[in-house]
Amino acid sequence: MRILCSDQAHFSIQTAAEMVGIPPANVRVVATDALGAMDVRAAQDKLGLEPSAQWMIVATAGTTDLGAIDPIDRLADIAGQHRAWLHVDAAYGGGLLFSGQHRHRLRGVARATSVAVDGHKFGWQPVAVGMLLVRGAASFEVLTREVAYLNARDDERAGLTTLTSTPMTTTRRADAFKLLVTIRALGTEGIGELVERCHDLAVHAATAVERLPEFELHSWPGMSTVLFRPVEGDPAIRDEKCSRIRRWLLSRGSAVIGRTELPGAGPGRRWLKLTLLNPHVDTASIETLAGKLREAHRLVDVGPD
């Protein structure tokens, strides 16, 4: 069994593989382009080197850092050629399906064998509201266990149906109900408007960063994250300045900004990361943050602690 994913795929892919006994070496990692999407030709080459293997292809719909979406439709073609299971990790980007403006970016997702969606992100649900969707219910049969004290057959035949044999965790809260209430309250269009609002806020933030001469923008927002970093100094100094600016803002209660490191080798890969998943943030707050970034850049010294 082999798993193929991009170098921007979520770390949980590797974790899940190890949990089910797939060796780390059997997770084949494919390079991505400058915007974080999987290189399809490189993926095809990897598959061609081991034609007898059983493959699962993991397409990421919304990478954690850049919000990149792998070319799902083309990967579905490749999966068909190699009889591979196509799993789409749409934990972050699945909410784009609610948006009339952005759902086209998930073209091909309907061809997947399975899809993961995290309602905690573009769904604004508690953290436990995650979903695994499969093309056919038969895929869940491997999870079915009959235990007399939980799902006795005679009770089932009498109409006392339980769902205890379906979820992987057996016992869990009715988290699907929370998502149902949200959809009933806002409608799919209402949720789509919130998704679009977050993207628009990210675009506004990217524009604000572009106006700051002290910082450079990595790329235009793919979804709701904005990556940027100081421009001056050698790579090691820029990395350290990223870290110190972030801690300076955090320690003063000004802002919580993330940081990440993109693929590559050596220093110069560190970026500050602003994630905008609150649709009720106003643009004035973003402008205030831009001012705080300039202040931090001016006051933070990169030298011995």
**CATH 3.90.1150.170 boundaries in the chain:** 190-299
- At 302, the pLDDT band (50, 70, 90 cuts) reads confident
pLDDT at 219 over 80: yes
Q: What is the CATH number of domain 2-118?
A: 3.40.640.10
pLDDT the model gives residue 303: 63
**DSSP result, 182-220:** HHHHHHHHHHHHHHHHHHHHHHHHHHHHHT-TTEEE-SS
Q: What is the CATH number of domain 190-299?
A: 3.90.1150.170
**Cα 69 from Cα 151, distance rounded (Å):** 41
**Cα 191 from Cα 99, distance rounded (Å):** 8
pLDDT the model gives residue 305: 47
Element (H, E) at 275: strand 270-275
Q: What would the pLDDT profile of 81-134 be if each residue is shown by its tens digit? A: 999 999 999 999 999 999 999 999 999 999 999 999 999 999 999 988 989 999
pLDDT the model gives residue 244: 96
pLDDT at 54 over 70: yes
pLDDT the model gives residue 180: 93
pLDDT the model gives residue 172: 75
Which pTM value belongs to this model? 0.92
**CATH 3.40.640.10 boundaries in the chain:** 2-118
**Cα 239 from Cα 302, distance rounded (Å):** 10
CB 54 within 8 A of CB 29: no
Q: What would the pLDDT profile of 141-197 be if each residue is shown by its tens digit? A: 888 777 888 888 888 889 888 777 777 777 778 888 999 999 999 999 999 999 999
Supply 296's token pair.
């931090």
What mean pLDDT is predicted for residues 254-275?
94
β-bridge partners, 59: 88
pLDDT the model gives residue 60: 98
3-state helix vs strand vs coil in the chain, percent to 5: 45, 20, 40
Element (H, E) at 153: helix 153-157
Q: Phi then psi for 209, rounded to 5 degrees?
A: -65, -40
Q: What would the pLDDT profile of 187-201 be if each residue is shown by its tens digit? A: 999 999 999 999 999
Q: Which amino acid is at 259?
A: R
Nearest to 282 by CA among 205, 182, 215: 205
Collapse the DSSP code of 243 into the 3-class scheme (helix H, G, I; strand E, B; otherwise coil) and give the result.
helix
What mean pLDDT is predicted for residues 233-249?
95
Q: How many helices (H) and strands (E) does the chain have?
A: 8, 10
**Alpha carbon 34 to chain centroid, angstroms:** 17
**Cα 287 from Cα 291, distance rounded (Å):** 6
